[in-house]
Amino acid sequence: MKRINKLILLTIVLVTLVAFTGCAKKSEEIKNTDNTKKTIKIAYLPITHAVPLYVESEDSIINSETLKNVNVELVKFGSWPELMDALNTGKVDGASVLIEFAMKSKEQGIDLKTVALGHRDGNNVTVANDINSAADLKGKTVAIPQRFSTQNILLYQMLENAGLEYTDVNVVELPPAEMPAALSEGRIAGYVVAEPFGAKAVSSGKAKTLFTSQDLWKDSICCGLVLRGDFIKNNPEAVQELVNGYVKAGNAAEAKNENITNITSKFMAVDKNIMDLSLKSTTYTNLKINEKDYEQLTIYLKTMGLLDNSPKFNDFVDNSFIDKAE
């Protein structure tokens, strides 16, 4: 009887081992299958200008139907200089970044290419409630995120349109997350920045939108999807798949529905009403960079003394992938 029990026990152990081995083998096969995908590391800051990337990385339909050979891994950074250091040194393959920053790196010899815009519009001039015109900002302090930014150019345009000099206001650089509080406390009279930081102040009732980017510079160029040149050269098929998914993600983001809000909320910790207001002012279609718009950007950069030798359009912009995007 004891011998029979031992045989039964041995049989159970053997069956368990076989089952475990089979499961382990199956898991290993799945893991190996996942490893056949090319991982593309893309740096970003948590702003609405990177929404197509959020959607591309999270949307199940885009992942299953378009990103068949690519994994998009988003790498979060807290500031533009940190992000650009990672991009310039090859710690990431690409980034959603201010075009002007990437142009500066290109001028300095870093091989970067812009393959798409991050968005259209979505940069508003946010001011205290007692400011009713650009002229009211004379002698006051206005914040921007960086000198090398479209936000800075929009400030310049607004002042110029009002007959003011850039030096008529005190321009300071502030981290975007600090801007709403600085305005509320009276340390600044206004700011120009990416969303959701404008919407945050407006929704609190302590600020208002004086101008939108459409009011100041229609079809302005701001953030772009920038990739390292060596990565493009060595992985053209992966880049094409990335851009295919990116364009689809931008089209999906334009719905600005509950699904898009839920996805963006994973990357930006803001209330739904702020998110809805932020998305409302930003467009995610028509993400191809046009030479005319790029040349206009280079003129402003030179006029403002920010970049005298901007990279040529064909050296910096690669539209070959977005032209083939399905």
Q: Which domain range does residue 263 map to?
A: 38-119+222-324
Do 50 and 193 fall within a single domain?
Answer: no
Per DSSP, helices labelled H in 190-282 are 197-203, 213-216, 229-234, 236-253, 258-265, 272-280
**Cα angle for residues 248, 251, 257 (degrees, 5° grid):** 120
Give me the count of residues in the chain. 326
Residue position matching structure tokens 């994994």 = 71
Structure confidence at residue 217 (pLDDT): 92
The answer to whether residue 22 sits within a structural domain is no
Higher-confidence position of 29 and 171: 171
Q: Are 298 and 287 in contact (CB under 8 A)?
A: no
Domain boundary among 182, 216, 250: 216
The answer to whether residue 56 sits within a structural domain is yes
Do 162 and 298 fall within a single domain?
Answer: no
Q: Give me the half-sphere count of Cα atoms (radius 13 Å) on the Cβ side of residue 149.
A: 23
Q: Are 62 and 249 in contact (CB under 8 A)?
A: yes
Please state, in angstroms and rounded to a whole number, the distance separating the CA atoms of residues 324 and 107: 28
Which among 119, 123, 113, 127 has a CA at the least distance from the CA of 150? 123
Do 138 and 207 fall within a single domain?
Answer: yes
Q: Are 100 and 150 in contact (CB under 8 A)?
A: yes
Do 154 and 208 fall within a single domain?
Answer: yes
Do 90 and 175 fall within a single domain?
Answer: no
Considering only 20-24, 254-258, 298-302, 312-316, which range has the smallest mean pLDDT? Answer: 20-24
Domain boundary among 160, 191, 216: 216
Domain boundary among 216, 235, 265: 216
The answer to whether residue 8 sits within a structural domain is no
Please state, in angstroms and rounded to a whole number, the distance separating the CA atoms of residues 42 and 118: 13
**Average per-residue pLDDT for the chain:** 89
Widest pairwise Cα distance in the chain: 104
Please state, in angstroms and rounded to a whole number, the distance separating the CA atoms of residues 299 and 249: 31
Strands 190-194 and 141-144: parallel
Please state, in angstroms and rounded to a whole number, the distance separating the CA atoms of residues 149 and 141: 18
Do 268 and 248 fall within a single domain?
Answer: yes
Do 74 and 194 fall within a single domain?
Answer: no
The answer to whether residue 18 sits within a structural domain is no
Please state, in angstroms and rounded to a whole number, the distance separating the CA atoms of residues 141 and 191: 9
Structure confidence at residue 180 (pLDDT): 95
The answer to whether residue 306 sits within a structural domain is yes
Do 132 and 93 fall within a single domain?
Answer: no
What global pTM score does this model have? 0.86
Bond from prior residue into 196 cis (ω within 30 degrees of 0): yes
Mean pLDDT of 282-309: 95
Structure confidence at residue 270 (pLDDT): 87
Do 228 and 310 fall within a single domain?
Answer: yes
The answer to whether residue 30 sits within a structural domain is no
Do 227 and 202 fall within a single domain?
Answer: no
The total of structural domains in the chain comes to 2
The answer to whether residue 244 sits within a structural domain is yes
Structure confidence at residue 35 (pLDDT): 60
The answer to whether residue 241 sits within a structural domain is yes
> Which CATH number do you get for residue 155?
3.40.190.10
Tell me: pLDDT of 276 over 80. yes
**Cα angle for residues 51, 56, 60 (degrees, 5° grid):** 125
Do 235 and 108 fall within a single domain?
Answer: yes
Do 55 and 183 fall within a single domain?
Answer: no
